[in-house]
Amino acid sequence: MQMHNQYQVILKPDPGNPQELYLGSLKAIGLDPTRHDIRFVEDNWESPALGAWGLGWEVWLDGQEITQFTYFQQAGSLTLDPVSVEITYGLDRIVMYLQNKTQVWDIDVDGQHSFAEIYKDPEIENCVYNYELADVERLKQLYAIYQAEADACIERGLTIPAHDFVLRQSQTFNLLDARGVISVTERAKFFAGMRNQARRVSELYVQQRERAEFPWLNNDETGDTRNAARDTGGVTAETAPVTTPQSFLLEVGSEELPPHDVVDGITQIEANLANLLGEAKLTYDGLRVTGTTRRLVAHVTGLAPRQEDEVVEKRGPALDRAYDSLGQPTKAAEGFARGQGVAVDKLEVRDNYVYSVKRVAGRPTVEVLPELCTTLLTGLRWSKTMRWNSSNVGYPRPLRWIVALYGDQVVPFHWAAVESGAVSRSPRFVDAAATLAPGEFATFAVASADSYFTAVAAQGVVVDRAERRASVAEAVAAVAASVGGTTPDDPDLLDEVTDLVEAPQALLGSFEEKYLALPAPVLIGVMKKHQRYFPVLKDGQMLPHFVAVANAKALAHPDVVVAGYAGVIR
């Protein structure tokens, strides 16, 4: 739409719980989270023309995007420090739900007039102008004028007017693009020009703030205080030495990972952890790695209580240099022995050389695991990473908690400004049903490494990816069969849906049969690409149904959620 209403919020620095604050705000304006399926689905925002980009999500309310949620990494081609959290509420769509309307035009604006009465004619007129009337030559002249004015303002150090003229160029470019006159080559040229000016404006603004000595900066405000304020279950008291093999559990908890990062993370952790344990000379019985969109989990069984002892051999000088004609050690032999920390009379002779041989006792596993965990997490490689707090660590989405246990002992370490502990976070649907203060979230304790899977299952989370995938496939097939249909074999869609939820609940949605007059590829494309729905077929023909998978153990109001799903399709 040409004209729509948004409410933009900037949180800077990241407070550590922006998603929870946002979800609390929805509840405050009347959107009951127990009545809806609210989801954070990967959607990264960027403006190449302005040199601005960030990673985040579009927020779905029963399948409808209602908010853009972005951790901004750069603006004006400058790296942001601290990172800004931008939350852009789509007010029109939110009001549709609050007023129980099926389309935006039916919104009651003031008790007397509908949205259509006030905005529909202007919307139509703007569309006519954008796509039919806007004069290409005059627009090009305007663009050149705005570009020149921006340059003039930059030269005089006028930051805000310069910024305004860059934005006017961007709007004029959009009009030219709507008229279909921008070639691929011209697009790159336009973007480069605007990006360069946006960078110069940003640099000018920073220089202005530096000269003013950043008067608005609060040096005591560091953000990300949630972990410091909450008990992680860490143990500081002395614990008894571990003398028998124990299980090891590592849960890396974050805000919603993109589906491909769930798979990539599982693969990397499994391979890298096995390598690190081998290099550390820690023997174990079994290794299992799995995960969901909010947690990557490694579980090692029978992990030895200490490293294997190591025999270290070093070759020294040749025999004829190590001993004189009387068989006494030379200074070369003595120096070598001293350097290796062994007595000279303990040197061994083999193959005309002297050797030092030392048996190095293995360290306790509880001492090795903290550095091993840090190395493991630091060594992960991702297609896209972001920063979110003062640690400047890169991860696909903000890391919020770590559970690390060897037996029943916490493995203490810090990574990305998060302290490991024995407390995990509940899934979103548990938060929704709980009575929580604004910005808070539900947690659960993990007593030991081996009790983790029972504890997380009690929260309703199907943490095992293979089990969750099978559950999605089975549930989708059963729901489709309830109307005499089937769903096409689509492993990619099944994988994506599997990694969008922590607990799958399949729901049947319907739409009017008149829409079946549209080409089937169009309908299927909308369902799969935009909504991640499974189309329902019978004898190769589309039925007026689809299957959607909610993130819930058991929705309290599935009819409300399904109505929302169907409304998006219409």
* Structural domains of the chain, with CATH: 6-211 (3.30.930.10), 233-306+364-458 (3.30.70.260), 310-360 (no CATH), 465-569 (no CATH)
pLDDT at 226: 47
pLDDT at 113: 97
Strands (E), 381-428: 399-406, 409-410, 414-415, 418-421, 423-425
| Amino acid identity for residue 449 in this structure | A
| Amino acid identity for residue 454 in this structure | T
Strand duo 399-406 + 418-421: pairing: parallel
Residue pointed to by tokens 């949620």: 69
What are the CA-CA distances from residue 545 to residues 65, 400, 413, 530, 563 (Å)?
21, 38, 50, 16, 12
Cβ atoms of 485 and 538 closer than 8 Å? yes
Helix-strand-coil percent breakdown of the chain, rounded to 5?
A: 40, 25, 35
Half-sphere exposure of 449 (CA within 13 A, CB side): 23
pLDDT at 237: 44
Cβ atoms of 543 and 486 closer than 8 Å? no
Cβ atoms of 476 and 506 closer than 8 Å? yes
Cβ atoms of 228 and 179 closer than 8 Å? no
pLDDT at 236: 46
What are the CA-CA distances from residue 299 to residues 192, 239, 277 (Å)?
49, 22, 13
Strand partners, 248: 300, 406
Residue segments in the chain with a per-residue pLDDT below the cut of 50: 225-229, 236-237
Long-range CB contacts for residues 510-519, cutoff 8 Å, separation at least 24: 510/544, 510/545, 510/546, 510/566, 511/544, 511/545, 511/546, 511/566, 511/569, 511/570, 512/544, 512/570, 513/544, 515/544, 515/569, 515/570, 516/542, 516/544
With residue 178 as reference, give the H or E element that holds it: helix 159-178
Closest CA to 408 of 360, 449, 362, 440: 449
Q: Is 67 exposed, middle or buried (0-12, 13-18, 19+ CB in 10 A)?
A: buried
pLDDT at 339: 92
Q: How long a stretch of residues is the chain?
A: 570
Sign of the alpha-carbon dihedral angle for 422, 425, 426, 427: negative
pLDDT at 221: 55
6 three-state secondary structure: strand
Residue pointed to by tokens 């009465």: 117
Q: How far apart are CA 23 and CA 27, in angstroms?
A: 6
Alpha helices in 463-537 (DSSP H): 465-481, 491-498, 520-525
Strand partners, 8: 88
| Amino acid identity for residue 314 in this structure | K
> Which tens digit of pLDDT belongs to each residue from 296-343?
999 999 999 999 888 888 999 999 999 998 889 999 999 999 999 899
> Which tens digit of pLDDT belongs to each residue from 192-230?
999 999 999 999 999 999 999 999 887 665 555 444 445
| Amino acid identity for residue 139 in this structure | L
pLDDT at 239: 67
Question: What is the edge-to-edge ordering of all strands in the sheet holding 541-551?
Answer: 504-510, 541-551, 534-538
pLDDT at 232: 64
Torsion angle, alpha carbons of 399, 452, 22, 533, to 10: 100
Contacts of 14 (CB under 8 A, 6+ apart): 71, 82, 83, 85, 223, 224, 388, 389, 398
